[in-house]
């Protein structure tokens, strides 16, 4: 039996973004260089898929267009179904509670979900987030506000945080620029 997945592509200031939804809930976001990744993750989760082009899967296309135009809370209204393990879902739920314009540490997320020693597991769940931007894993930073670990690259993470009004510490010499945005 094939699962119907609605998909759309939007062009944004950060490049193209691929959106996939199942039964009216966003289940995947591919940022620029990740269209094959989001396809792979979706197929691994749902098996055989019937891909259907849509204009606005789960309302995500219009909400993200508003987000990139400055309505920063717009993604909060997008219904999501990221799948994942119970632990991952707890982490992802906590990430959606991080307010726009703020960041927190991995240890804060671990404490929030009641697993204060699970820093690495929180980091792994953050990295496995299939619904980037909407589940704002970019708002989780390292000790002292260092930008660490983002699937789309640290330049993209920096861009998203600055777009949301986060004041970032100056880059340190050990933070390698990845050249995402000139």
Active-site positions?
A: 137
29: left (phi over 0), alpha (psi -120 to 50) or beta: beta
Q: Which of 31, 55, 48, 33 is nearest to 131 (CA)?
A: 31
Backbone angles phi, psi at 175, to 5 degrees: -85, 105
What is the C-alpha to C-alpha distance for residues 62 and 8, in angstroms, rounded to an integer?
A: 11
């Amino acid at each position: 039996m094939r699962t119907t997945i609605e998909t759309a592509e939007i062009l944004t200031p950060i490049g193209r973004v691929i959106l996939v939804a199942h039964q009216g809930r966003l289940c995947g976001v591919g940022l620029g260089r990740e269209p094959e990744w989001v396809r792979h993750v979706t197929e691994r989760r749902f098996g055989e898929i019937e891909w259907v082009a849509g204009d606005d899967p789960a309302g995500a296309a219009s909400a993200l267009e508003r987000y990139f135009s400055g309505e920063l809370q717009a993604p909060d209204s997008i219904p999501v179904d990221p799948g994942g393990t119970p632990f991952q879902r707890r982490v992802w739920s906590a990430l959606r509670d991080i307010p726009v314009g703020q960041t927190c540490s991995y240890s804060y997320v671990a404490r929030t979900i009641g697993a204060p020693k699970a820093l690495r597991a929180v980091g792994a769940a953050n990295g496995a987030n299939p619904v980037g931007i909407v589940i704002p894993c970019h708002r989780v930073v390292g000790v002292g506000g260092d930008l660490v670990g983002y699937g789309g690259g640290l330049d993209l993470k920096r861009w998203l945080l600055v777009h949301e009004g986060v004041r970032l510490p100056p880059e340190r010499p050990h933070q390698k620029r990845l050249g995402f945005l000139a």
